[in-house]
Amino acid sequence: MVQLFQRTKRAMVFAAHPDDELIGAGGTMSKLKLSGKNVKVIVFSYGGGGATAEEARLLKENKIEAIREKETRMVAGTLGIEHRILGLVEIEEWREATKMLVRELRLFKPDLVFTHSPLDKHHLHRSVSDISTEASWHAGAKVYGELGRPWKISAVYYYEVFDLFTEPSMIVDVTDTFNLKLKALRLYKSQLRVFPGLDDYVKALGRVRGYQAGVKFGEAFMQASSIPITM
């Protein structure tokens, strides 16, 4: 793992909604960024459904999306990590969405990709997991020549949000960047109202994963078996 991270120059993180990237990989993203790596986050949906019942009665969905977009910009500024929101409520045209991601991957040329677990309960989390894993494979193949030259990704890792791994294949020590992760997470104020105690959950999970690795705070990942690690 250490050798893989040392060789990494760029990492791309895929998330279904704003805040998923921080819950699952915020400490690792920040660790890579602070060590001089280039990190980019691709968010699929603005998350217009992420509102309390009271807010949903008072605000139209596009207003909720505007709030979440503003929060995402604040998080990006705090971490110094580019966030791009695609604005896809659902993934309906699978082939076109795959091509969109292949283009993103070939342009950015990440060594590592982080994305949702294919075992998540949320349907969009699973869809993002499947399509980003497939696009990571296609990005290195001699297909879709109009989207740029093939780019081989060294490894794809799944992160956990609320559906946890029983046997993670990697735990990253994020002790040094955990406070930054929490600071950024708290900028998603709208989601702290939707999920009361979210920051406490993230701290507890970080301590559990840290305990398993013999450090204070950790983040757990599962390697995508369809993309063998390239050393």
Phi, psi (degrees; rounded to nearest 5) at 96:
-65, -40
β-bridge mates for residue 159, sequence order: 116, 221
pLDDT attached to residue 89: 74
pLDDT attached to residue 143: 85
Q: Where are the chain's structural domains?
A: 2-223
pLDDT attached to residue 2: 62
Single-letter amino acid, residue 123:
H
Six-digit token pair at 34?
A: 């602070």
**What helix, strand, coil percent values describe the chain, rounded to 5?**
50, 15, 35
Residues of the chain with pLDDT under 70: 1-3, 47-61, 229-231
Whole-prediction pTM value?
A: 0.93
Phi, psi (degrees; rounded to nearest 5) at 156:
-120, 130
Of 197, 217, 201, 190, the residue nearest 65 (C-alpha): 190
CATH topology of domain 2-223: Rossmann fold (3.40.50)
Asked if 157 and 35 count as a contact pair (C-beta separation under 8 A), the reply is: no
